[in-house]
Structure 1
C-alpha cells in the first residue's frame, strides 16, 4: 500500500485532505482546527463526490453560521426573527459577583454580559480562561417585557473532539515505518514532507513538544514568514497565542482583584508571539519575569498569599534582527528578545531552542495536499500523552555525561520524551533511532547553554560537556550545534583563501598526515565542498573510479561536472587523470544518460580528465584512487539539497549549499 492508502485504511474518519482547509477558509479568520473539525464530519474519506459535497456543506455552515464582525447585526436579526439560531463564534465567560451570575462575551458578535448557565460553565471550564473558546452556540432571543438582557444561550458545544482512543492510536502506529509516520505527522501539520530533510522535519515537529509535554519551555527565534506561531495559534484548541507585548502578571498568572487565575491555569500551552525587543519604550515588568522564571522551574507561582500549581508549557516565538554569523561573532542568539528576559536565571529554564533560521519561508508549494490527521483529533491525543513520561527509554541505552547539571539533564530528557511521543508513541525505537533523537535534543539544549556562557559569567565557572556514552558499545559522542559547525567552516574557508598555496598546506592535513576515519554530514550543514571532502585524499592519483548508481538527473550530472572540476584544479596543470564512472539507469532513460555523458566527456578533456563511463547495476557507492585511498559514499555525489530560486549564491559556491545527512568513510588500502 502507498502511504496515502495506509493512512486512509487505518485512520478512516480521523484524517482529512489538507488542501481542503484553504478551499473552504477563504478570507475567514477561522482557526484550522475549527475548519478541520467541520471537514472531518463531511470529507473524511477518499471519495471525490463525497468530498465535493462535503466541501459545499462546510462552506454553507461557515456562510450561514460563522459570525463575521461586519455581519454581526444581520446575525442578530436572524436570532431575533427566528427565536433560535446556531452560530460559530469565540466565547469568553467571566463571573459577575455582584449579580452572582456568569456572563459571556462574544468575540465577533460584539455581545457582552450575556447570562450563561452554571451547568454550561461547569461542563466547559476553559470558557473562564480569558483566552476564548471557539464554539457552536445555539442562541435565543426573548421578547418579554421588563428583562435586562434579551439574548439567551440555549446550548453550547466547544469545537473539539469529544474523546479519542489512545491505545488504538498506539497500536496503529506499528503499521507504519518510522519514515512513513514522520511524513504522516508532517502532513498533519499541513506541510508536504517531500520538501523537507529529516532534520527539517524534526525542527517542524519539535514545535509540537509543548503540546505533548507538561511544563515544557520552548523558544524559537528566526526570520519572518517561517510559520513559527502557526502551530500555537491554529492547530490545537488547548493552546493560546498572545502577543509578547500584551502580557501581564494578572493575565498570565493570577489577577489579585477577584483572585482570578490566568492563562497558565487553563491552557496546556501558552505561547508568547512577537517575543522581541520592547516597542515604544515599554519596559519589561521585572516581577513578571521573576514569577514566570519560578513557574518555568517549579510548575508553581505565588500571587498574594496563595501558591498555585499548573502544567502549562511556555513557548516563546519571535524574529531575529541579524543573521547567525553576525550573532555568533558580535552578540548572542538571544539578542532580539526583550532585555528584561536576557538573564541567566531565566534563560537557564528553557529546555529547547529551535534554530528558526534553518526553517524555509513557507510558500504555497510546501503545503500538503495529502491526508493527515484532523488536527483536533491529533491535539486530543497529544493531550492524553502529556500524562506519560517516555524519557526512561534512554536509561537502558545511553549514559549522559556526569558534568551535566540537573537542568541540562531535565531539558534533554523532556525534549527526548516529547520527540518519542510524537514519532514513536508505541515506544519501539532502535538504538540508532534513539541516538538520532538524542543528538537533536542535546543540540536544542546546548544552544541555550552556549549563550549562557556569553550572557552570564557565573555559568563559566561550572562548564559542562554535552556528551553521552552508548552503553552497548562504550562509544562516546559529543553533538555540536549546526550553526557553530557552519560558522567555523565558513571562517576556515575564508582563512584558506587569504593564504598562499604554500601557507594553505599548513592549515589542512597534507597527504602523509591523512588517516582513515568516518565523517558524518548533517542535514542543513554548510561549509562543505568536494574539495574539502575529497581533494587531499585524491592528490597524486592518476586513475580514479567513481561508482554511483544514481547519476541520472540533470542536477546529478552537474554534480559530476563539479567533481571533475575539483579533480582538474586538484592536480598539476600538466598531469592527466583517467576517470572511470560506473553508474546505472532504467532502460527508458538510458539514451538520455548516454547523451549527457558524451557531452560531459568532451567538456572535461580540457581539464586533463579522461572520462570513461559504463552502466553496471551495483548498489555500493564509492570513490577509489590508485594512490591507496577509498572513500565510501552514503549518497554518492548527491550530498547537496536543491537550491531554490533563479539567483542563488549557493549555485556558484558549494560551501554555501545545505547538505543532506549522510556518512563518508575514508579507508587506506
Structure 2
C-alpha cells in the first residue's frame, strides 16, 4: 500500500476555498453530485421519506444542478402529492383500488415467501406505509430484485386490485450504481481537508460550522457502514442529531426508535423461522436506548453478547447463522452547564442490564456525542453555506458499504497499530485496529496515507473512541485493572 503523503493543508479551508470546491466536486463526480440545497427547498423531507430517497426523486423528476427554481419546486410538489401517500391517505388509496383503479405510490416494499404444508407457496409483499401486508407479487419481480426478500427496497409501486386482494403490477426501484474504483480514483483529486468537507456536506452538514475534532466525530458515525460488525455506543444530550445520519444514509441501515424490542425482532422469530433485523440489514441502530423496553432483557442481552463477540445469531438452539451487521446504540445523557456529563459513570443512565461489563466490553467504541453542538439550521447546508455540492446519498451509502469488502485498510492497520503496555488487552487492540481501519476507508479510500495523517485522523481518534469504553470497564470491574488505565500506541 502506498504511503504517498496526502496533500494535507496546514489549516482548515476558508469559506472562499469551500465555495471554489463546489465546481470541483461537480466536475469530478458529474451526475453523482448534487446541490444539497435542492432537498430542503423541495420540501420532500416533510413527506416522511429519507434523504437517499428524496434525492432520487429530485433526479427523476427535476434533474439538474444548482438551487431549485420555482417551476421545479412546483413540479416536485405536484409529483409528491400524486405519488407519496400521507398517513391519512391509506383508505383513499384502498378505495381507489376497490373501484378498479390502478395506483402508483412511492413506498418501501418488502416481500416474503410463505411455505405451508399441503399448500402452494405464497409470495406476499408488505407496503407498511399503506397498511397492506399481503399483496401478491410475481416470481419474475422477485428474481429481478432479490433485495425485496432481504431488507426490502424503496421505489414506485403500481398497485391493482384482484378479486381476492391487491397485486403488485410493476415496480421501479430506487437504485444507485456503485462504482468503487471511480470513488477511489476521485478521492485522489482532493486534499484531505477538501475530502472531509465533501463527506460532511454529503451528510447534510455545513463543514464550516464545525471544528476539526467535531468533524471527526461526525465522520465516526459512518464507521458501521464501512466496517463489518462495528458495534458502537453514542451518548449525547437531546437534539444533537444522533439519528440524523443513520436515517438518511442508506436503505441497508435500519433505525429502530423506541418501543418494544424483542428477541424475535433482533434475531429470529422461532414461530415462523423469519430472521430478524440483525440478519437482514448491514447496520441496525437502536435510538433512545435509555427509554426502550426490552421483552425478556436477560435473554436479549445474552443473545447480543454472543453476537457482538462472534457475529453468530442463535435462537434457542433452533436456528444459527452468521451476520456482519453493525449494532449501534444511541442514548441521551444529562449534561451540566459546562456541557459535560453529570454522572461519573457515563452508562449510569442506561438500563441496568446494559451496564454489565461483559456486554460493554464487546462494544468497540463510545462516541462522545456531548462534544457536538445541538443540531440547528445553522449547522446544516443552507443558502449561506459556502460548500453546497456533495455526493448523492444513495450512491454514497452504497459506496461506503462496498468498502466493507476492501481489506487493504485492515492490512495497513494490522501493521501500523501496536498498543503500548506490558500486556495490552486483546479486545482493546482489536477494537482500535478496526476503528482505525474504518476511518482510513472513510478518509483515504484510495489507500494512500502519510504516517502522520494516519496517526492524527485514524489512530488517535480510534484510541479515544475505545478509551471511552475502557474507562467504564475500568471503573465498573476490578478485573480490568490488571491492565494499564490508558490506551496508548506502542513506542517505536
Give the TM-score range, shorter chain.
Answer: 0.7 to 0.9
Question: 2:224 touches 2:230 (CA, 8 Å); kept in 1?
Answer: yes
Question: 1:214 touches 1:312 (CA, 8 Å); kept in 2?
Answer: yes
Q: Residue 354 in 1 paired to residue 372 in 2? A: no
C-alpha deviations, 1:325-367, integer Å up to 9, x for none?
8987853111121111111111001111110111101111111
Alignment counterpart, residue 457 of structure 1, candidates 457, 461, 478: 478
User: Does the C-alpha gap of structure 1 residues 156 and 301 become closer, same or farther in structure 2, counting only changes over 3 Å?
Assistant: same
Q: Residue 251 in 1 paired to residue 261 in 2? A: no
Q: Residue 92 in 1 paired to residue 107 in 2? A: no
C-alpha deviation, 1:269, in angstroms: 0.3
Consecutive unaligned residues of structure 2, counting only runs of 5 or more, are 1-16, 383-387
User: Does the C-alpha gap of structure 1 residues 292 and 270 become closer, same or farther in structure 2, counting only changes over 3 Å?
Assistant: same
Could you say which structure has the greater relative contact order, defined with CA pairs below 8 angstroms and 6 or more residues apart? 2
Q: Work out the CA distance in 2 between the residues paired with 1:278 and 1:55.
A: 39
Q: Residue 218 in 1 paired to residue 237 in 2? A: no
Q: Residue 199 in 1 paired to residue 219 in 2? A: no
Task: Name 1:410's counterpart in structure 2.
Answer: 430
Task: Name 2:10's counterpart in structure 1.
Answer: none
Q: Work out the CA distance in 1 between the residues paired with 2:476 and 2:148.
A: 41
Task: Name 1:400's counterpart in structure 2.
Answer: 419
C-alpha deviations, 1:173-214, integer Å up to 9, x for none?
111110000000010000000100111001111101111111
User: Does the C-alpha gap of structure 1 residues 63 and 72 become closer, same or farther in structure 2, counting only changes over 3 Å?
Assistant: same
- Alignment map for 1:31-430 (pairs within 5 Å): 31-42=50-61, 45-47=64-66, 53-79=71-97, 83-98=101-116, 100-128=121-149, 133-142=153-162, 147-149=163-165, 151-161=166-176, 163-277=177-291, 285-303=297-315, 304-323=317-336, 331-369=344-382, 370-389=388-407, 390-401=409-420, 403-430=423-450
SS across alignment from 1:203: helix
Task: Name 1:5's counterpart in structure 2.
Answer: 23
Question: 2:28 touches 2:186 (CA, 8 Å); kept in 1?
Answer: yes
SS across alignment from 2:394: helix
SS across alignment from 1:349: coil
Q: Work out the CA distance in 2 between the residues paired with 1:262 and 1:394.
A: 32
C-alpha deviations, 1:440-489, integer Å up to 9, x for none?
1100001100110112222123345412146xxx4xxxxxxxxxxxxxxx
C-alpha deviations, 1:410-463, integer Å up to 9, x for none?
111111111111111111111211111211110000110011011222212334
Q: Work out the CA distance in 2 between the residues paired with 1:47 and 1:328.
A: 42
Alignment counterpart, residue 47 of structure 2, candidates 24, 28, 31: 28
Question: 2:231 touches 2:365 (CA, 8 Å); kept in 1?
Answer: yes
> Of the two, which has the highest radius of gyration?
1
Q: Work out the CA distance in 2 between the residues paired with 1:306 and 1:92.
A: 22
Q: Work out the CA distance in 2 between the residues paired with 1:413 and 1:355.
A: 19
Q: Work out the CA distance in 1 between the residues paired with 2:447 and 2:70.
A: 39
Question: 1:278 touches 1:284 (CA, 8 Å); kept in 2?
Answer: no
C-alpha deviation, 1:392, in angstroms: 2.5
Structure 1 length normalisation: TM-score?
A: 0.65
Q: Work out the CA distance in 2 between the residues paired with 1:441 and 1:323.
A: 26
SS across alignment from 2:47: coil
User: Does the C-alpha gap of structure 1 residues 209 and 26 become closer, same or farther in structure 2, counting only changes over 3 Å?
Assistant: closer
Q: Work out the CA distance in 2 between the residues paired with 1:196 and 1:415.
A: 22
Moved more, 284-293 or 339-348: 284-293
SS across alignment from 2:286: strand
Question: 1:126 touches 1:266 (CA, 8 Å); kept in 2?
Answer: no
Consecutive unaligned residues of structure 1, counting only runs of 5 or more, are 475-669
Q: Work out the CA distance in 2 between the residues paired with 1:75 and 1:353.
A: 45
SS across alignment from 1:191: coil
Q: Work out the CA distance in 2 between the residues paired with 1:332 and 1:70.
A: 45
Q: Work out the CA distance in 2 between the residues paired with 1:406 and 1:123.
A: 45
SS across alignment from 2:381: coil
C-alpha deviations, 1:113-161, integer Å up to 9, x for none?
21222333344444445x654321111234xxxx322x22012233231
RMSD of Structure 2 on Structure 1 (CA): 2.5
C-alpha deviations, 1:516-540, integer Å up to 9, x for none?
xxxxxxxxxxxxxxxxxxxxxxxxx
C-alpha deviation, 1:287, in angstroms: 1.1
SS across alignment from 2:418: strand
C-alpha deviation, 1:14, in angstroms: 0.8
